[in-house]
Chains A and B, each alone.
Chain A
Amino acid sequence: AQTVTQSQPEMSVQEAETVTLSCTYDTSESDYYLFWYKQPPSRQMILVIRQEAYKQQNATENRFSVNFQKAAKSFSLKISDSQLGDAAMYFCAYRSGLSGTYKYIFGTGTRLKVLA
């Protein structure tokens, strides 16, 4: 069975600085997707960034980028130029690439605090 581990329950970053959130996963599959979701306080969860396992190039979305290390089964999220609005819970998630299998497995989350 697949598992997702986020070992940092809480992280803090100074506004305008860079922070990296860690995620490791375990799977025997070769085809899968990895995601980072953001859940702001009292607001709904939104997708931050997605990585297809077959792509070697790391995904980027504006200030958000990932470091995908497939052999190490590591998928970290880097937030550059942190803003107060980045404060939230961040969840790493895994989804199998098998056709018809759309089940997501989430980590336990990392609470990010942004200090002014």
Chain B
Amino acid sequence: EAEVAQSPRYKITEKSQAVAFWCDPISGHATLYWYRQILGQGPELLVQFQDESVVDDSQLPKDRFSAERLKGVDSTLKIQPAELGDSAMYLCASSLAGDTYEQYFGPGTRLTVT
């Protein structure tokens, strides 16, 4: 069964360092989401792509976060510089384009900033 892949699964970094996360969606899925999930809370959408275009990045802290999906397939989320408050689980999800398709989640990357 096809799955959303994410790497790394765990990342520990010092504050002020740069960190990057990678996501490979299920083949053929045009829509890709990056979420941040703080411990004890629900996922919060950071950025949403439709193919290579950003559809919604209204909650992305653009002074330090960036996201790209250059060829409309895999995607990278970057934080530079990392802050203590960025410690969280970063989830990637994908779905077929269209209103009725469910989103499939990857296993997430747990980031700890020290």
Q: What residues of chain A have their CB less than 8 Å away from a CB belonging to chain B?
A: 4, 33, 35, 43-47, 50, 91, 93, 97, 99-100, 102-109
Contact = CB atoms under 8 A, between A and B. Distances in A.
Contact of A45 (B31, B56, B91, B99): B91
A91 B43 contact: yes
Which of under 10, 10 to 19, 20 to 34, or 35 or more describes the interface residues of B?
20 to 34
A108 B42 contact: yes
Given A103-B48, A106-B43, A106-B44, A44 B108 contact: yes
Interface of B: 4, 31, 33, 40-45, 48, 55-56, 91, 93, 95, 99, 102-103, 105-108
Contacts, number: 46
Nearest to A99: B99
A103 B91 contact: no
Nearest to B101: A102
A44 B105 contact: yes
A44 B102 contact: no
